[in-house]
Structure 1
Amino acid sequence: MKTTLLLVGKTDNKLYAEGIEDYVARTNHYTPFCLKVIPELKNTKSLNEKQQKEKEGELILKNIDDKSYVVLLDEHGKEFRSVEFAAWLGNKQQTIRQLTFVIGGPYGFSQAVYERANEKMSLSKMTLSHQMVRLLFTEQVYRACTIIKNEHYHHE
């Protein structure tokens, strides 16, 4: 299974970016995993929140393959414990060929993106910065791969 993490805007924080790159590289030892960054919108001061979500949504949808199973990282999504997420991911590895996780912009997703999604997932009930979510999520994907392989990275 090929897994893509689709991001709106680059990761600005150097420490987060280094951590993300490290976890992506580690995960690739287990399964093909890549980041795809959509450039941030320019001149957003003239756009209201809804307009910005619509424009970002168009870019997101253009960057998702028609055959991909799409999971939005969204505050209203399902929460998993790490071992539950590993079981979920292991099941997806057996049943689908392409998986795309999407982290949207600061205002979330447009209605069109919600309609395209197959699922929504949340990392926490707490509000986290979009930059931090990237690092935490890539670590959880790596952790899930080690759990699936019964390696010693994760402890219960």
Structure 2
Amino acid sequence: MKIKLVVVGKTDLSYLQEGIQVYHKRIPYYLPFDYVIIPDLKNTRKLSEGQQKEKEGELILGQIKPGDELILLDERGQNFRSTEFARFLEKKMLGGVKTLVFVIGGPYGFSQEVYQKACGKVSLSKMTFSHQLIRLIFSEQLYRALTIIKGEPYHHE
């Protein structure tokens, strides 16, 4: 299985970029991994929140290929402990999913079209984090889950 992480907008803060890069260098040891940054929309002052979500949604859906399984990182998604998230991934691997695509949306969330295309939603916390910070948190949790699956000592109960 391959995992693809799609994010809307660049990561501005260097300390977050560095942390993300640490995990993105480690993840391919376990499985193929792609990180796709959808550029920020231009001239958004004249666009409503809904219009921004629609435009971002079109760009997100442009990253999804037939056979991909789309999982949204969403505050209303399913909460997992790290070991449960590892089991979730392992089930997808054993279930024959070719590419599992996780998406971190823009500041207003996702369009209805993106929600309709999604096979599931995952929440990383009941708290709210910036879209830039959640990239680092998710990347670390993905790496942690892969080490749990492999039985490596990174995670401690």
TM bin (shorter chain): over 0.9
Post-superposition offset of 1:63? 1.2
Structure 1 counterpart SS, 2:40: coil
SS at match of 2:109: coil
Give the drift of 1:24: 1.1
Q: Secondary structure at the match of 1:64?
A: coil
Q: CA deviation at 1:69?
A: 0.4
- 4+ residue segments displaced more than 3 Å: none
Alignment-derived partner of residue 89 in structure 2: 89
SS in 2 for 1:66: coil
State the secondary structure of the residue aligned to 1:28: helix
TM-score, structure 2 length as denominator? Answer: 0.98
| Identical columns (%) | 58
Q: Which residue pairs with 1:115 in the alignment?
A: 116
Q: Which runs of 5+ in 1 are unaligned?
A: none
Paired with 2:75 and 2:84, the residues of 1 have a C-alpha distance of 18
Task: Quote the offset at 1:25 in angstroms.
Answer: 1.1
| d(CA) in 1 for partners of 2:9, 2:2 | 22
Deviation at 1:21, TM superposition (A): 1.2
C-alpha distance in 1 between matches for 2:5 and 2:115: 16
Q: Return the alpha-carbon distance in structure 2 between the equivalents of residues 12 and 66 of structure 1.
A: 32
Provide the secondary structure at the position in 1 that maps to 2:151: coil
Instruction: Give unmatched runs, 5+ long, in structure 2.
Output: none
Cα shift at 1:19:
0.9
Amino acid at match of 2:78: K
The one-letter code matched in structure 2 to 1:108 is: G
What residue is the counterpart of 2:16 in the other structure? 16
Aligned twin of 2:4: 4
Tell me, yes or no, if structure 1 residue 61 matches structure 2 residue 39. Answer: no
Give the aligned residue type for 2:50: K
Once the two structures are TM-superposed, the CA of residue 100 in structure 1 deviates from its matched residue by 0.2
2:145 matched to which residue of 1? Answer: 144
Q: Distance in 1 between matches of 2:69 and 2:148?
A: 22
Report how many aligned residue pairs link the two structures: 156
Looking at structure 2, the residues matched to 33 and 80 of structure 1 have their Cα atoms a distance apart, in angstroms, of 21
What are the superposed Cα offsets for residues 98-139 of structure 1, whole Å, 9 maximum, x if unpaired?
A: 100000000000000000000000000001000000000000
